[in-house]
Structure 1
Amino acid sequence: MTLFGLVRHGQTDYNLRGLFQGSSDIPLNATGREQAHHALDGAPDIAWDAAVSSPLGRAEETARIIAEDHGISFVGTDPRLAEIDWGAAEGHDVAEMEARYPGRAFPGREGLQAVADRGYLALDDLAERFADQNVLVVAHGTFIRLLLSGVTGTHLPSIPNGALSLLRHEGESWQVEMIAGEAAEEPARTAPVGASPRFPLSEHHLRPYGL
């Protein structure tokens, strides 16, 4: 069994301005760094064994701040934990691009299932590497929401910056225990061995939309 703590990175100026950032490597701003320092405030009392992050700077810096503050070993980054690539929408105003491309069908946008699949594979590998341990994974709002939606089978609201969610992995069973600091009461989901896609997703899982 491996318990994952999924943390969304702190705020960036793109978040503040309402711009799509996705795969763009935008750094934390001062508020984002402060959110990182307080990401585990009020969280369940869990002894975290390791922290890993997306390679994008905003996630890695958040992870390093949390790790240093709480004496957790930062074990590096994994490219599979990166945020969705929004394609042509990267760096543009959210409202403007949503009006231009209904359903967020942006040219060059990464597929939702592709994002979830690489995320589940990364967690599979981490679960094998850190069996019976507790691992903080610092990543991104849409990325985390797609993983949790795949397990619960429901769409979820936006994940706030610095928020912690809990996802338990045991064998082929996944259990969402907390979503953005709120307890979740969802049944465990079991995936057939070798199944791909693991938990099918659709555009429905991006509503209501978030950055």
Structure 2
Amino acid sequence: MTLIGLVRHGQTDWNLAHIFQGASDVPLNATGVEQAHRALDSTPEFAWDGVMSSPLIRARLTAEVIATDHSLPLIGVHEGFREVDFGWAEGKPSAEAYAAYPERDFPDRESVDAVLERVCAAVRDVSAQHPDGRILVVAHGTLIRYLASAVAQRDFTSLPNTSLTLLEVSPTLWRVPMIAGYSLREPFEWAHEEGALPRFDPAWDAPSGIDPATLPLAERSALEEYRPTTEKAPSHTAEESR
């Protein structure tokens, strides 16, 4: 089993201004750099094997900061972790884009199916290259939430900058034991035939936030005394844990 830690990149000026950036190559701002330095502060010390990222500069810079701060090797970039291409909406304020296309069906945008096909292929590449590894991947908010929502079969529609989502990967079973820093008492899981793609409900593609009250939360971080969830873990009461 491979453990992949999906980290959203640090803040950019376009994030701050609520502008669609998607595939546009926008760098971190000063706050984003500081967020990258603090990206793993809310989780216990953990033996990651390395850091990789999307090829976009905001993800690469975040990965470089994390790797330097935690003395981890940088192990490259993968095109499959690039952010969704929003087509017509790129560079436009989100309020303007949503007013024109409330369903987010912007002209020339990349389809959800295409996104899931490439990100699932990227996840499988990482798992094949690091079959028992623990790899951090710095990627993007919409990409990560599409993947997490598809695996969990529920709506996760807003992930904060530098938040951590965990994905456990084996050939026919994927699990999400942590979403955006919230540790789950029982991981969401997707059992499937090898090479299959998860289903994504278009109703989940909407600009809202995660409500911790709706999650089956654990008492502690999923990285504290971490073990694969194929092993029996101690039971916890429902309590928020960031």
- Please state how far the C-alpha of 1:209 moved relative to its aligned partner: 4.5
Q: Which residue of 2 aligns with 1:207?
A: 206
CA contact (8 A) 2:52 2:63 kept: yes
Quick one: which amino acid aligns to residue 204 of structure 1? A
Query: When the two structures are superposed, what TM-score results if normalisation uses the length of structure 1?
Result: 0.95
Quick one: which amino acid aligns to residue 206 of structure 1? D
Aligned equivalents of 1:182 and 1:199: distance in 2?
22
Q: Which residue of 2 aligns with 1:73?
A: 73
Quick one: which amino acid aligns to residue 65 of structure 2? I
More helix by share: 1
Across the two proteins, how many residue pairs are aligned to each other?
208
Quick one: which amino acid aligns to residue 207 of structure 1? A
Deviates more, 1:91-100 or 1:36-45: 36-45
Quick one: which amino acid aligns to residue 155 of structure 2? H
Alignment of 1:136-147 (within 5 A): 136-147=136-147
Q: 4+ residue stretches of structure 1 with deviation over 2 A?
A: 184-188, 207-210
Q: Which residue of 1 aligns with 2:128?
A: 128
| Cα deviation digits, residues 174-200 of structure 1 (max 9, x gap) | 0101011101233421121232xx111
Identical positions, percent:
48
Q: Which residue of 1 aligns with 2:18?
A: 18
- Please state how far the C-alpha of 1:204 moved relative to its aligned partner: 1.7
CA contact (8 A) 2:103 2:206 kept: no
Task: Considering Cα pairs closer than 8 Å and 6+ residues apart, tell me whether 1 or 2 has the greater RCO.
Answer: 1
Aligned equivalents of 1:179 and 1:194: distance in 2?
23
The secondary structure found in structure 2 opposite 1:199 is coil
Quick one: which amino acid aligns to residue 88 of structure 2? A
The secondary structure found in structure 2 opposite 1:103 is coil
Q: Which residue of 1 aligns with 2:151?
A: 151
Gaps of 5+ in 1: none
Q: Which residue of 1 aligns with 2:93?
A: 93
Aligned equivalents of 1:187 and 1:65: distance in 2?
30
CA contact (8 A) 1:54 1:77 kept: yes
Query: When the two structures are superposed, what TM-score results if normalisation uses the length of structure 2?
Result: 0.83
Aligned equivalents of 1:18 and 1:208: distance in 2?
11
Aligned equivalents of 2:118 and 2:168: distance in 1?
17
Aligned equivalents of 1:95 and 1:70: distance in 2?
38
Q: Which residue of 2 aligns with 1:4?
A: 4
Q: Which one has the largest radius of gyration? A: 2
| Cα deviation digits, residues 63-83 of structure 1 (max 9, x gap) | 010001001110111111100
Q: Which residue of 1 aligns with 2:224?
A: none
The secondary structure found in structure 2 opposite 1:47 is coil
CA RMSD of aligned residues (A): 1.2
Query: 2:198 aligned with 1:171, yes or no?
Result: no
Gaps of 5+ in 2: 210-242
| Cα deviation digits, residues 130-182 of structure 1 (max 9, x gap) | 11110000000000000101110001130000111111112311010101110
- Please state how far the C-alpha of 1:91 moved relative to its aligned partner: 0.4
CA contact (8 A) 1:36 1:62 kept: yes
Deviates more, 1:162-171 or 1:22-31: 162-171
Aligned equivalents of 1:187 and 1:78: distance in 2?
25
Structure 2 CA distance for partners of 1:151 and 1:127, relative to 1, 3 Å? same
CA contact (8 A) 1:172 1:191 kept: yes
Q: Which residue of 2 aligns with 1:194?
A: 195
Q: Which residue of 2 aligns with 1:49?
A: 49
Quick one: which amino acid aligns to residue 183 of structure 2? A
Aligned equivalents of 1:203 and 1:86: distance in 2?
15
Aligned equivalents of 1:170 and 1:33: distance in 2?
33
